[in-house]
Homo-oligomer: A and B are copies of this chain.
Amino acid sequence: MPLMPEDMQKFFSPRSIAFVGVSRSAGRFGGLSFLTKYKEAGYAGGLYPINPKADHILGIKAWPDLESLPETPDLAMVAVAADKVPEVVVACARGGIRHIHLLTSGFDELGGEKGRLMKARLVAVCRENDVLLIGPNCMGPYRPASRLTAWGAIPGLAGPLGIISQSGGMTQRLTEYAASLGLGVEKAVSVGNGSVLDALDFLEAFGQDPAIRVIGMYLESVADGRRLMDLARGIGRTKPIVVIKGGQTEAGARTAASHTGALAGSRAIWEAVMRQANMISVETLDEWLDTLMIFAHIPAPASEKVFIIGGGGGSSVIYGDTCERAGLRVPPLSAQTMQALRQLTPEAGSIAGNPLDHWQVFSDAPYLARLIDLAEQDPGIGLILVDRLIARTAFHMDVTFDPTPDTLALLQQRSGTKPLVFVVDSEGGDPDLAARGAAVRALFGTAGYAVFPGIVRAARAIRRHTRYHEKRSRMI
């Protein structure tokens, strides 16, 4: 069902929202949770809780029914019991509300005859009443720019991502993770069982949305594989589409059936569809975030020839191995670069080469900036990967200051164009170190750099980026 710009407006920038199925007192998860969070997020439109037994809920005037509202809300957020849903859909339609977010679960994900009937009844009542419904069994729309953020990062951060998901939890965590790295979301939608509007309806709409540059999807099933392929082929030419396909194994598929009623389909078919449409396939939340981030921060095609700047002999060996195993190249540097590098690095205890091993990079921002300049001029290098170990992990160095602000200040003056990627690996058990690493990553991310907590994640994300662009250039 194609979504018109007006429909997107009503779902993601509603002027007012009615809440149907909102209890007076907190307890179970439901409409009140959403009302609370929309208020907390600073959503500025009208909030209309419907409850015939209450005058006010959370200090907001409550209304006995939809008919008594002073205006027609753009959106209804519905959380009544599953068997009451059809009559609420009819009431919404009568009141002029065509756009519904249905939180309630207990439809096809139950399985069996009961689940099938519940779904059929819901779909029929929406069709008969010309209602566009997100759900059931889902968290619905999310848009930081509208402060429409009852879930996920609250109030969230606006940015270039568009997220479409059959899992509210995965999207919640993704938006939180991205926001804390300075990466924002234009629109996200948790579609749940996708019984009326499904993931592909939103994919089509996001493809036309100029504010969305990179699309992420979490899918458990798709009713129409041909439509997915057609849409992805068209949209993927200008916007990378990064997909986690859940339910690719026996256990995953069994769980997906209970989660969103999805019949997950065979892995082989999925992989073929993904490949032919140049969608980028990832397997975990971390990979999803990493890949969305690298496409958001490095829009142009980048070369797979990486210069690794870091320190530690063993680390350098492993970093080189990891990048090449991931399908990147870590080529020898040009004679000219090597000559300049040898001036800058002592013979013993360091390794002038690619990877470059010299502890000084961890504490000396101007030195790091010189190395980056050298790489910029080496024609054999296309991308610069900096291992930015945080200070206290460097052995026997009495460094307590954080060189990150100096580094970022110097980088702002940089005239080079080769993409820079940072690794800040603070995993090592120590809580203080873990917190400092996360803080340093946030600084790099907010400054617009792709930043990763480990070399494996960095190398694989870079490779997904280069592979997408290689393939796109062949497809165009």
Q: Evaluate contact between A110 and B347: CB separation under 8 angstroms.
A: yes
Of A6-14, A41-49, A245-253, A365-373, which stretch is located at the interface? A245-253
Q: Evaluate contact between A314 and B246: CB separation under 8 angstroms.
A: yes
A33-B396, A260-B313, A428-B177 given as contacts; is B284 within 8 A of A455 (CB)?
yes
Which residues, 208 to 260 on A, are CB-close (under 8 Å) to B?
218, 220, 244, 246-252, 254-256, 258-260
Q: Evaluate contact between A454 and B348: CB separation under 8 angstroms.
A: no
- Smallest CB–CB gap between A195 and chain B, Å? 15
Q: CA A322 – CA B255 in complex, angstroms?
A: 13
Of A63-71, A196-204, A336-344, A433-441, which stretch is located at the interface? A433-441
What band does the interface of chain A fall in when counting residues whose beta carbon is under 8 Å from B?
35 or more
Q: Which of chain B's residues have a CB closer than 8 A to the CB of A395?
A: 151, 168-169, 172
Q: Evaluate contact between B82 and A430: CB separation under 8 angstroms.
A: no
18 contacts between A and B (CB under 8 A): A29-B396, A105-B348, A105-B349, A165-B314, A167-B312, A167-B314, A169-B395, A176-B428, A176-B429, A181-B429, A250-B324, A251-B323, A251-B330, A252-B318, A258-B353, A283-B321, A283-B456, A284-B322
Given A169-B313, A252-B321, 19 other A-B contacts at CB below 8 A?
A106-B347, A167-B313, A167-B317, A168-B313, A169-B314, A170-B318, A176-B428, A248-B321, A249-B325, A249-B330, A250-B324, A254-B320, A258-B313, A283-B318, A283-B321, A284-B456, A426-B434, A431-B438, A434-B435
Chain B's closest residue to A285 (CB) is: B318
Q: Which of chain B's residues have a CB closer than 8 A to the CB of A317?
A: 167, 220, 246-247, 252, 255-256, 259
- Smallest CB–CB gap between A367 and chain B, Å? 17
Q: Evaluate contact between B357 and A255: CB separation under 8 angstroms.
A: yes
Q: Which of chain B's residues have a CB closer than 8 A to the CB of A351?
A: 255, 258-259
Q: Evaluate contact between B324 and A255: CB separation under 8 angstroms.
A: no
Q: CA A429 – CA B290 in complex, angstroms?
A: 12
Q: CA A176 – CA B429 in complex, angstroms?
A: 8
At the interface, yes or no: A453 with Cβ under 8 Å from chain B?
Answer: yes
Q: Which of chain B's residues have a CB closer than 8 A to the CB of A380?
A: none
Interface residues of A (CB under 8 A from B): 29, 33, 37, 82, 105-106, 110, 151, 165-170, 172-173, 176-181, 218, 220, 244, 246-252, 254-256, 258-260, 283-286, 311-318, 320-325, 329-332, 347-349, 351, 353-355, 357, 393, 395-396, 426-439, 441-442, 445, 453-456
Chain B's closest residue to A166 (CB) is: B314
Q: CA A396 – CA B169 in complex, angstroms?
A: 11
- Checking B29, B315, B320, B434 against A438 with a beta-carbon cut-off of 8 angstroms, the contacting residue is B434
Q: Which of chain B's residues have a CB closer than 8 A to the CB of A318?
A: 170, 244, 246, 252, 283-285
Q: CA A172 – CA B392 in complex, angstroms?
A: 12
Q: Which of chain B's residues have a CB closer than 8 A to the CB of A165?
A: 314
Q: CA A258 – CA B358 in complex, angstroms?
A: 13
- Smallest CB–CB gap between A359 and chain B, Å? 9
A interface secondary structure, majority: helix
A351-B258, A431-B442 given as contacts; is B169 within 8 A of A454 (CB)?
no
3 pairs of A and B residues whose beta carbons are closest in the complex? A167-B314, A180-B429, A251-B320
Q: Which of chain B's residues have a CB closer than 8 A to the CB of A246?
A: 314, 317-318, 321
- Smallest CB–CB gap between A218 and chain B, Å? 6
Q: CA A248 – CA B326 in complex, angstroms?
A: 13
Q: CA A428 – CA B435 in complex, angstroms?
A: 11
- Smallest CB–CB gap between A322 and chain B, Å? 7
A218-B314, A431-B436, A436-B431 given as contacts; is B321 within 8 A of A247 (CB)?
yes
Q: Which of chain B's residues have a CB closer than 8 A to the CB of A105?
A: 348-349
- Smallest CB–CB gap between A97 and chain B, Å? 24
Q: CA A331 – CA B250 in complex, angstroms?
A: 9
